[in-house]
Amino acid sequence: MRTVVEAKQLRKIYGSKGNVFTALDEIDLTVQEGEFVGIMGPSGSGKSTLLNMLATIDQPTSGDIVIDGTSVLKMNEEQLSVFRRSKLGFIFQDFNLLDTLTVKENILLPLALAGMKVSELERRVDEIVDKFGIRPLLNKYPYHISGGQKQRTAASRAIVSRPSLILADEPTGSLDSKSATDLLESLKDLNEQDQTTILMVTHDAFAASYCKRVLFIKDGRMFTELVKGNTSRKDFFNKALDVLSVLGGSVSDVI
């Protein structure tokens, strides 16, 4: 099985001399192709810092990150820009859609910036819109659609370039329970049917229950992990809640 992400001995230290804060402390992480991995932990545990490192938005103080066989820490900013566009897909809590573009134009923006031919653009959008149930929305603008529809648009934009890795940062954080469930079901189907590799930071055990594996971080260190295996989603949810209660993190009572 191909390794998509390998992080070794990641440390992130802020400040200097007598005022030092260690956000990440010797984190090791491996994600294989086709995995759906969740990252959980209390507020301030370092999970968002870790995601920013893997997203190449921030750099560790020490350690190494290899994504799809490439050490991202050895790239300059121009190389990183090309790498992000071709290898990474992003889903953010606040959607990050452009109100001046239609849903279809928002989805196709990364490919248009890369100079892809119009015929291929059309084929790509036709290929993915039914995965997230947004075909009727293509000619609408973001301010005309619901939060759940915006997030499914953002997810479509994330996968349209066929990246090696989808990075999702609290993707259900701004959604109601039905919209959150719809999005998570779509991500699960995408992972299972297309073997799309997904790494998702979430505070919500309900969202984490859709993952195949969940990593828990506490005080910048890896605390433990849960592997779903043949466990039902409801039982996996309850196991995640048990770990969160030990960590002191947030829980969700939605199931």
The pLDDT of residue 102: 96
Model confidence at 42: pLDDT above 70: yes
Confidence band (pLDDT; 50, 70, 90) for 214?
A: very high
Average pLDDT of the residues in 117-122: 86
In a domain, 58, yes or no: yes
Model confidence at 253: pLDDT above 50: no
Q: What CA–CA distances, in Å, run from 69 to 10, 36, 86?
A: 17, 19, 14
**How is residue 94 written in tokens?**
């606040």
Instruction: Name the residue range of residue 184's domain.
Output: 3-249
**How is residue 85 written in tokens?**
């566009």
The pLDDT of residue 135: 93
Confidence band (pLDDT; 50, 70, 90) for 251?
A: very low
Smallest CA-to-CA distance from 72 within 90, 87, 94, 92 is with 87
The pLDDT of residue 100: 95
Total domain count for the chain? Answer: 1
| 81: helix, strand or coil | helix
Residue 64's contacts (CB-CB under 8 Å, 6 or more residues apart) are 7, 8, 9, 10, 71, 73
Q: What is the CATH number of the domain that holds 167?
A: 3.40.50.300
In a domain, 255, yes or no: no
Residue 143's contacts (CB-CB under 8 Å, 6 or more residues apart) are 99
In a domain, 50, yes or no: yes
